[in-house]
Amino acid sequence: MFIVTLLTTPTESTLDAALVDSLRNAWGGGDATWLAIDEAAEFAIPVMPDNRWDVWADLQDACVDLIIQPAENRRKKMLLADMDSTIIRQECIDELAAEAGVGPRVADITAQAMNGELDFEAALKERVGLLKGLDESIIEHVLDTRITHMPGGYELVNTMKAHGAYTVLVSGGFTAFTSRVAAALGFDENRANTLLVENGKLTGAPGLPILGKQAKIDALVEITQARGLAEADVIAVGDGANDLGMLGRAGMGVALHAKPIVQDECDIRINHGDLTALLFLQGYGRDEFVT
């Protein structure tokens, strides 16, 4: 048995009940359950449809995300989330670079690294090198003036926690940012790289070892084992090439507004919903959200 989830975001579109019923009838689905009126609905089907991706592509044009997944074990016991361009809207290093006057150069390297065109570790070293001499106080300034949370992050973290899940923010960015974002949203734990500072200035080097793609996989393995969980109990979310490892290992790997290389590797793609989509995927209705 599989569960079909259809969702959108109210700022883009409205989920049409006629669309839901048409697809349900075409695929021999059961009765539809509305998880949020005009926003998200689900129904069960007996087999995976052959035209799944053709329908997915058509619905993307209508600003609707389509996800089909096994019905079993949908409610996860752990959340593993990337930070930059996933839990927050920005790339922290790009925002620091903008303050340092090297924004376009660093943003270009970031884009290439997230698309899998550059080695992550080498790209991080190069970008951090361009920040050498930047006053440490700029970090707080960027946090206060440039960093905004992705919609639905608080609801995602705290709804899952209310149902007993463990929540982890794991980033190829920096602890100076993850610690504050994690505290604001209620994450249980955060892991990231460090920016080295001497005499109140960034040295232009990151702390070693650098946390990249493998570190996110390691976090998945280490934390699940420590908490007596299976990898199938994890929902992971990210957008960049360095997230692919954890997305592939987690029981539910979600590509959220992700780069093409990530979407190509993931069956669960959210391009129109926000972070609350991860709750709808687990069968939570909006009336169950912790706000």
CATH of the domain at 244: 3.40.50.1000
User: Which tokens sit at 112?
Assistant: 């290439």
Residue 12 pLDDT > 90: no
Question: With bands split at pLDDT 50, 70 and 90, how would you rate the model's confidence at 2?
Answer: very high
Q: Tell me, yes or no, whether 161 and 288 share the same domain.
A: yes
Question: Are 180 and 217 within one domain?
Answer: yes
pLDDT of residue 11: 81
Residue from 213, 177, 182, 169 nearest 195 by CA: 177
CATH number where 47 lies: 3.30.70
Question: What percent of the chain is modeled with pLDDT above 90?
Answer: 93
List the catalytic residue out of 38, 50, 61, 82: 82
The band of 102, judged by pLDDT with boundaries at 50, 70 and 90, is very high
Looking at the domain assignment, is residue 162 inside a domain?
Answer: yes
Instruction: Report how many domains make up the chain.
Output: 2
The alpha carbons of the chain give a radius of gyration, in whole angstroms, of 20
Pair 24, 84 in one domain? no
Mean pLDDT of 59-86: 97
Asked if residue 260 has pLDDT above 90, the reply is yes
Told to judge if 82 belongs to the known catalytic residues of this protein, a careful annotator would answer yes
pLDDT at position 157, please? Answer: 98
Question: Which residue segment(s) compose the domain that 248 sits in?
Answer: 76-89+149-291
Instruction: For the chain, give the mean pLDDT.
Output: 96
> How far is Cα 163 from Cα 183, in angstroms, rounded to an integer?
19
Q: Do the beta carbons of residue 138 and residue 96 sit within 8 Å?
A: yes
Q: Please report the pLDDT score of residue 241 as a whole number.
A: 93
Same domain, 82 and 31: no
Residue 248 lies in a domain: yes
Active site residue 50: no
Residue 142 reports pLDDT greater than 80: yes
Same domain, yes or no: 206 and 254:
yes
Evaluate the omega torsion of the peptide bond into residue 70 and state whether it is cis, within 30 degrees of 0.
no
Q: Tell me the CB-side half-sphere exposure of residue 40, using CA atoms within 13 A.
A: 24
Same domain as 195, residue 220? yes
pLDDT range class, residue 212, cuts 50, 70, 90 = confident
Which is catalytic among the residues 16, 38, 58, 84? Answer: 84
44 and 82 in a common domain? no
